[in-house]
Amino acid sequence: MFQVKIITFIQDLIVEKQDAEKTLLSLSKDDSGNTSSASFDEAKERLRQYNLLGLEVKLQEQQWCRQLSTLLVQQLSQHLDKILATIKTHQVNSEAGVDHDVVEKVLSALIASSSLCLNDLENDTELRTVLKILYNYYSELARTDPGDDDYFATVVIPLVEEVSNKLNMKIHQHDEL
């Protein structure tokens, strides 16, 4: 799916910029006082290029965060009846049709974009509902279908939890008490 490739590419750009910022920060705090290292210069140049590009501004103009949320909602809503049946009956419906790769990529992009997306999405009740449903769905899949090297429990569920934490969304029952 072309959308997934674009999401992954943009996520990679965001992560690379964040890595350059972290490198610059850690090297500038280095007690040795040596800020002319090759790593420092490389991080400084990458950051200069990203700032010149104006990546965050362009992403906000294109409603990147909202588009990620919408894609996740669409992925879920296409198969909602089957997903809810899986959760309710505790039986895996192999025809639920959820594209786990799309879900994983969108969740990963939301995590990478969380500082950019917090204001746009923190009060998005539809996204919160989707995250709750995804958490319950993947928890059920992890419980009833532990194959695939425990992919659901070790990859997807932690992604759902991290998105909800970074966007200040409570998805667990006990969080709402």
| pLDDT tens-digit map of 139-177 | 888 888 766 657 888 899 999 999 999 998 877 754 443
pLDDT, tens digit (0-9, with 9 covering 90-100), for 16-28: 999 999 988 888 7
With 60 as the cut, is the pLDDT of residue 33 above it?
no
Distance between CA atoms of residues 117 and 80, nearest Å: 25
Counting beta carbons within 10 angstroms of the beta carbon of residue 93, is it exposed (0 to 12), middle (13 to 18) or buried (19 or more)? Answer: middle
pLDDT at 113 over 50: yes
State the pLDDT at residue 40: 85
Asked if residue 12 has pLDDT above 50, the reply is yes
Q: What is the pLDDT of residue 93?
A: 64
Model pLDDT, residue 106? 96
End-to-end CA distance of the chain: 40
How far apart are alpha carbons 59 and 146 in whole angstroms? 37
Q: Over the stretch 38-89, which tens digit does the pLDDT of each residue have?
A: 888 898 999 999 999 999 999 999 999 999 999 999 988 888 888 888 888 8
